[in-house]
Every structure is written in C-alpha cells, then in structure tokens.
Amino acid sequence: DVKVTQSSRYLVKRTGEKVFLECVQDMDHENMFWYRQDPGLGLRLIYFSYDVKMKEKGDIPEGYSVSREKKERFSLILESASTNQTSMYLCASSSSVVETQYFGPGTRLLVL
Amino acid sequence: DAKTTQPPSMDCAEGRAANLPCNHSTISGNEYVYWYRQIHSQGPQYIIHGLKNNETNEMASLIITEDRKSSTLILPHATLRDTAVYYCIVRALNFGNEKLTFGTGTRLTIIP
C-alpha cells in the first residue's frame, strides 16, 4: 500500500510566522504534489516536483515555496503566514506525473 | 479536462450495494475515468480508474458505458465507513495535465 504521511494533522500559527509542512512517501515515487482545499474552491495545486531538487509552480504558488532535498520528502513553506492561508493542505505522490496520485491525511492549518 | 456531473447526495442502506453515477458526456478518447473519495477531514483516497473496460478491485467496481459518456461506481456491500464524498474525475494522462481537479462530488450517506 502507498503510504503518504504529513507531519501534522492540525496546526495553529500566528500571522507572519514561517510555517513548514512536511510530507513523506514510502513508495519511491518520483513525483510529489502540494494542494490546498477550501470549501467552494475545491482542490488547487500549489507546487509539484518531478524529481529531487526540481519544482514546478502550480496554479497558486504565491506566498509559498517548496523544497525537495530527498526523493521521499517534499516540504511546503509559508514564508510569512497570512490569514488567507488558513486551509486544508494535502500532499500527494505518484510514480509519474501522469499516474495515479495518492494523498496523505492532510494538515488543517489555522493562521490567526 | 472534461467536466463531470454527479448527484449532490445519495443514501444507501448498510449492507446493500451503493451505485454512484457520473456523467461525462464530453469525455475525450484519451481521458480516463477516476474515482476518489474523501471522508470528513481526511485526505482523498484513490478508489479505482478505467479507460473503457469495466474494472474491479478490492474496494469497488467501475462500470463504463460503451459510449464512455457515463460511468457507475459500485460499492458492493456498503458499510458505515463508506460514508464520504465521492469524486468522479476524467483525466488525460499526458504531461502538462498534472493537477487533479475535483468537482463537488456526491455525498454518500450509509444508513444503519
């Protein structure tokens, strides 16, 4: 079974804080993705990575950065958290960018 | 990606088969039908996908009509843990089409 884990299920941060969300997959997948999910807006792609140290912007990269130093780990960084970044953050991985994506449990982030 | 239409909600008695329909009348020849589900406050879970043949795995069966304009996801013996929002997606597996886009889905409630 594919296993994608995320570092926290729930997180509360203050405006202006730097926030790190970690994602780890154990299936040796090449590709990893970060989405956010908001009511009424559905799933939106923030960034994805198709290889170590490689990254591609998704639809809403502003205010976010990512890091992929190891194949199994993909980090999402909020440089200076803002209240409009309160959301459910979902990490996914796949064996290639065009294959089935498997999701982690999600991190529900609240920025106060 | 082509759009899909699903009923907003359905009920099913525990132990019965749950049949979830999806219309995708503008599907292209190279687009697959994917199903995911999302249990409240959790990450989406991959269920099954297919191109034109019917598919079955340990979770569900996928029936695709011959003209591929609609499909049905079948959960053969629904349990209370199958209560979730079910998303039908059509997706071409080619580069440049990395992101997943969920519609509003069908909220399936399993009744004891």
The CA angle A41-B4-B86, to the nearest 5 degrees, is 70
The pLDDT, as a whole number, for residue A58 is: 93
The pLDDT, as a whole number, for residue B68 is: 95
When pLDDT is averaged across residues A29-58 and rounded to a whole number, the result is 92
The pLDDT, as a whole number, for residue A97 is: 66
Evaluate the CA torsion angle B49, B58, B45, A75 in order and state its sign: negative
pLDDT over 80 (residue A2): no
The parts of chain B modelled with pLDDT lower than 70 are: 1-2
Look over chain A and give the mean of its residue pLDDT values, rounded to a whole number. Answer: 94
Contact B45, B36 (CB under 8 A): yes
Strands A19-25 and A10-13: unpaired
Would the CB atoms of B42 and A106 count as touching at under 8 Å?
A: yes
Cα distances (Å, whole numbers) of residue B83 to B2, B13, B103, B111: 26, 11, 18, 9
pLDDT over 90 (residue A55): yes
Range 73-102 of B in CB contact (< 8 A) with A: 93-95, 97-102
